[in-house]
Structure 1
Amino acid sequence: MGTLDWSQWFRLEGTPFAALPHFITSLAIGLLMGVERERKTHPLAGIRTFPLTAMFGTLVALVGQGTQSSWPVATGLLLTGLLGFLPQGSTGSDVAEPRTTTVIALVIAFTLGVLVGQGQGALAVAVGIIATALLYLKPELSGLFNRLDRRDWLSILQFAALSFIVLPVLPDRTFGPYGALNPYEMWLMVVLIVGVGLSGYLAVKFLGERVGGPLLGFLGGLVSSTATSMVYAREARAHPEALGLAGSVIMLANLVLFLRLMVLTGALQPGALGPVAVLMLPALLLGLICSGWRLRQAETAGSGPALTLSNPSELKLALGFGILFAVVTVSAAWLNAHFGRGGLYVVALISGLNDVDAITLATLRLYGQHSVTLGTVAAALALAVSANTLLKFALIASLGGRQLAWRILPTLLGSLAGLWGGFAALVLLSN
């Protein structure tokens, strides 16, 4: 499936050469991997050994099918692995290619040949391309991951453990006041938020020193628009020559917030995405218009400070967000039950001062339980974003000074105007 049927093209069915296309596919896979190995200094195997090994895998697979035995494949795999123990001979050089990688690659080539012989040619070709890419891109991959320090790797491992070990074992049922707490759903929200932040954090870690202000603002906004704003506000005060770059990074990081909220809504409640997009898109577009000429100035700005952010997958940050989300969820459910929409709006204003994601997830959860309407969701999000934006502006002004505050003020005001303009449009459409 997904490959050309060479047997029909060349009318090989029913002839002694019916299996020939399998060997041609194995030959191509082996050549692909062998050419990459041939580039190395005195490799154990190269442009001839790899194709022969792949075709050997196809041959033993066909023999095994004919004899209905697994011994030919097992014996072939053992013989391929034993190639690593053969003497390499005189290299004429003090530096030789390490044998382990080539031996493992040979075993993979043999196994891919077996897959071809078993009729899995498309899968074998795809895996062969991936394996060759890993072999070829060793310098790039090594340089990329050397940018991560021990603390980063520890945080990533923590995130992986909490996502793929802890999450599956949490009970997927509601309990607590108003049935507002569901351990599985709550931790799933933590994984979602931390995953988005981790993607931006790794992008900043890998690319931060080589990108300009606009892209740096976008990446920083994925991690945390508040943290990014604080970092560059302090930089603008300490180094006035970085004012232009700092303003551009802060403006775009805060505009990314609207994209984040639309992505979260689409992932959790696709039915609410339309109204939320009507709310967020005008804020994003008007903010971009107000900051457009400032962002163009950033293209010619010099390099700025390294954007140092906390890894969002660190255990304390993940648990902190989980606790905040639980508190906001219970408060929203309680106030909504006793005071209706007004109670939810109070929670949105208060929690929005600290974090918009938590109230967004809590409100979307209430909508999924049919406890609130789309109009209530939109109003709560508008209030939370407004409170968050105003607090960030106050912090930026106090940390970065008056010049930075005036530089970013049009963008923040424009985005808020677009936000409430979108909300007004929603109200008119609902009426």
Structure 2
Amino acid sequence: MQWDLSAWLHLAGTPYESLPSYLSSLGIGLLIGVERERKQHTLAGIRTFPLVCMLGTLLTMLVPSLGSAWLPAAGLLAVAAMGILPATNRAPDEPHEPRTTTVIALLVAYSLGVMIALGNIELAVALGVLTTGLLYLKPELSSFTHKLLRYDLLALLQFATLTFIILPVLPNHGFGPYAAFNPHRIWLLVVLIVGVGLAGYLAVKILGEKVGAPLLGFMGGLVSTTATSLVYAREAARNPSSQQLAARVILLANMVLFLRLQVLTMAISPAATLPMLGIMLPGMALGVLTIFISQRRSQQQENAPELELKNPAQLNIALGFAALFAVVMLCSAWLKDIFGNSGLYIMALVSGINDVDAIALTSLEMFGQQQVALQPLLVTVTIAVLVNTAFKFSLIFSIAGRELAMRCLPTLAMAMVGMLGGLALSVLL
């Protein structure tokens, strides 16, 4: 239900019927103007921006009365001409805000005023907030761009190209044996899983070593639980004093795996959201509870080693995901045709050793296409997580030794117990 300020104030039919539009323009202009006013010797500030925004609304509303559709365009040119005004007096060594940013902000404010006059008030307000955010967060955005390496930018460009240019033109129907190769669906799954990993990678890149173990574990879990376990197992092997930190990061990353699988389920097969939650939530809850109990007496602070993770948006990694998904989908369809649901379980045992996402996404995709029932889906995902967890535990034990492995064992074991308990309950129900 849309809130109509004009109707609430009974302004319809009065000379003040358009007052809410001008108030909206005033508010947007003030919001942007307050941010600009904080800059030294800026071209426009807390008075100019509201006036410019209301000018856009005023000239647009005058078009029907004056019969001139060029009024808004003329106003836009007049605002743009403000960019050639001379700068205010200031000392030569005094810092100043680049004029181009303020001029563009003025043009945006004017255009938002035009949008309000055309009736797009909600969108104009949202864009005004986003504009103010971009202006205010300049230091953070600049710092972020300087932390990205050249190959990070190249990988982001590749990912954007393959997502927004290639994905829409891929055929969305099955090819080959069992019609298992659907290029559009396969790449859509790639975009989803790489996008989740990319979010974690960028967060680690931005925050660096300033974050603590909980956030490092969370972000590392978004990127790759196996990679995170490997990085911190090696760190613990090199530096025995970091055992406690390594255990916290590894365990938290492995708890994030449950959350990641639940989010993927919601995105791919919404019908399986609640049943999947029934096995993911007990596993994550028992694991987190075990972490809390084992760590509550320890207050020691340690320096966090940097997470040396690969950018998951790199082209070769994305193509590797696509090839892996295609192979897993074909093998899963073939094994299911020969062995029934047992074929999926065999595939989960094999592919789960190195990666959970491929078999989990494949089984979710098959469930969405009604090629597999709910219970085999839950069993397949559970098997993959169990096998993957056992593999990571053996990795930790072989690299870092018995001490770190024993620190991780209770949490990993309780998480698996919780997951199996949730699966057993879902079968009984």
- Against the structure 1 CA distance between its residues 273 and 115, is the aligned structure 2 distance closer, same or farther, given a 3 Å change threshold? closer
- Against the structure 1 CA distance between its residues 291 and 71, is the aligned structure 2 distance closer, same or farther, given a 3 Å change threshold? same
Structure 1 partner of 2:37: 38
- Against the structure 1 CA distance between its residues 31 and 168, is the aligned structure 2 distance closer, same or farther, given a 3 Å change threshold? same
Structure 1 segment 126-145 matched on structure 2, within 5 A: 126-145=126-145
Read off the aligned partner of 2:403 and give its amino acid letter: Q
Aligned length: 428
- Against the structure 1 CA distance between its residues 297 and 190, is the aligned structure 2 distance closer, same or farther, given a 3 Å change threshold? farther
For the 8 Å contact 2:24–2:121, the answer to whether it is kept is: yes
Query: Take 1:5 and 1:346, find their aligned partners in 2: how far apart are those partners?
Result: 62
Read off the aligned partner of 1:217 and give its amino acid letter: G
Read off the aligned partner of 2:160 and give its amino acid letter: A
1:146 alignment partner, SS class: helix
Structure 1 segment 102-141 matched on structure 2, within 5 A: 102-141=102-141
Q: Shift in Å at residue 106 of structure 1?
A: 1.2
For the 8 Å contact 1:248–1:298, the answer to whether it is kept is: no
For the 8 Å contact 2:366–2:372, the answer to whether it is kept is: yes
Structure 1 partner of 2:82: 83
For the 8 Å contact 1:7–1:18, the answer to whether it is kept is: no
Structure 2 partner of 1:236: 236
Query: Take 1:129 and 1:91, find their aligned partners in 2: how far apart are those partners?
Result: 30
CA offsets per residue over residues 167-187 of structure 1, 9 Å max, x none?
Answer: 100000101111111000000
Query: Take 1:298 and 1:69, find their aligned partners in 2: how far apart are those partners?
Result: 74
- Range 165-174 or range 76-85, more displaced: 76-85
Structure 1 partner of 2:318: 318
- Against the structure 1 CA distance between its residues 73 and 347, is the aligned structure 2 distance closer, same or farther, given a 3 Å change threshold? same
For the 8 Å contact 2:234–2:400, the answer to whether it is kept is: yes
Q: Shift in Å at residue 245 of structure 1?
A: 0.4
Structure 1 segment 7-26 matched on structure 2, within 5 A: 9=9, 11=11, 13-15=13-15, 17-26=16-25
- Against the structure 1 CA distance between its residues 112 and 271, is the aligned structure 2 distance closer, same or farther, given a 3 Å change threshold? closer
2:412 is equivalent to residue 412 of structure 1: yes
1:301 alignment partner, SS class: coil
Query: Take 2:297 and 2:183, find their aligned partners in 1: how far apart are those partners?
Result: 47
- Range 299-308 or range 99-108, more displaced: 299-308
- Against the structure 1 CA distance between its residues 368 and 56, is the aligned structure 2 distance closer, same or farther, given a 3 Å change threshold? closer
Query: Take 2:124 and 2:274, find their aligned partners in 1: how far apart are those partners?
Result: 42
After the TM superposition, which segments of 4 or more aligned residues of structure 1 sit over 6 Å from their partners?
none
For the 8 Å contact 1:244–1:297, the answer to whether it is kept is: no
Q: What root-mean-square deviation, in Å, do the aligned CA atoms of Structure 1 and Structure 2 show?
A: 2.0
Query: Take 2:304 and 2:44, find their aligned partners in 1: how far apart are those partners?
Result: 47
For the 8 Å contact 1:7–1:21, the answer to whether it is kept is: no
CA offsets per residue over residues 134-173 of structure 1, 9 Å max, x none?
Answer: 2222122222332222222221121111111111000001
Read off the aligned partner of 1:56 and give its amino acid letter: L
- Against the structure 1 CA distance between its residues 115 and 396, is the aligned structure 2 distance closer, same or farther, given a 3 Å change threshold? same
Structure 2 partner of 1:189: 189
Query: Take 1:78 and 1:72, find their aligned partners in 2: how far apart are those partners?
Result: 10
- Range 3-12 or range 363-372, more displaced: 3-12
Query: Take 2:377 and 2:7, find their aligned partners in 1: how far apart are those partners?
Result: 59
- Range 109-118 or range 219-228, more displaced: 109-118
Structure 1 segment 205-224 matched on structure 2, within 5 A: 205-224=205-224
Structure 2 partner of 1:160: 160
1:43 alignment partner, SS class: coil
Query: Take 1:63 and 1:11, find their aligned partners in 2: how far apart are those partners?
Result: 19
Q: Which runs of 5+ in 1 are unaligned?
A: none
Structure 2 partner of 1:294: 294
For the 8 Å contact 2:201–2:219, the answer to whether it is kept is: yes
Q: Shift in Å at residue 368 of structure 1?
A: 2.5
Read off the aligned partner of 1:28 and give its amino acid letter: G
Query: Take 2:67 and 2:298, find their aligned partners in 1: how far apart are those partners?
Result: 68
Q: Shift in Å at residue 197 of structure 1?
A: 0.8
Structure 1 partner of 2:58: 59
- Against the structure 1 CA distance between its residues 306 and 88, is the aligned structure 2 distance closer, same or farther, given a 3 Å change threshold? same
Structure 1 segment 249-398 matched on structure 2, within 5 A: 249-296=249-296, 300-398=300-398
- Range 224-233 or range 267-276, more displaced: 267-276
Query: Take 1:289 and 1:50, find their aligned partners in 2: how far apart are those partners?
Result: 52
Read off the aligned partner of 1:280 and give its amino acid letter: M
- Against the structure 1 CA distance between its residues 90 and 417, is the aligned structure 2 distance closer, same or farther, given a 3 Å change threshold? closer
Query: Take 1:296 and 1:157, find their aligned partners in 2: how far apart are those partners?
Result: 44
Query: Take 2:264 and 2:123, find their aligned partners in 1: how far apart are those partners?
Result: 34
TM-score by length of structure 1 reads 0.93
Q: Shift in Å at residue 12 of structure 1?
A: 6.7
For the 8 Å contact 1:217–1:252, the answer to whether it is kept is: yes
Q: Shift in Å at residue 190 of structure 1?
A: 0.4
Read off the aligned partner of 2:236 and give its amino acid letter: A
Q: Shift in Å at residue 68 of structure 1?
A: 3.5
- Against the structure 1 CA distance between its residues 14 and 306, is the aligned structure 2 distance closer, same or farther, given a 3 Å change threshold? same
- Against the structure 1 CA distance between its residues 330 and 298, is the aligned structure 2 distance closer, same or farther, given a 3 Å change threshold? farther
Read off the aligned partner of 2:152 and give its amino acid letter: D
Q: Shift in Å at residue 11 of structure 1?
A: 4.2
For the 8 Å contact 1:364–1:377, the answer to whether it is kept is: yes
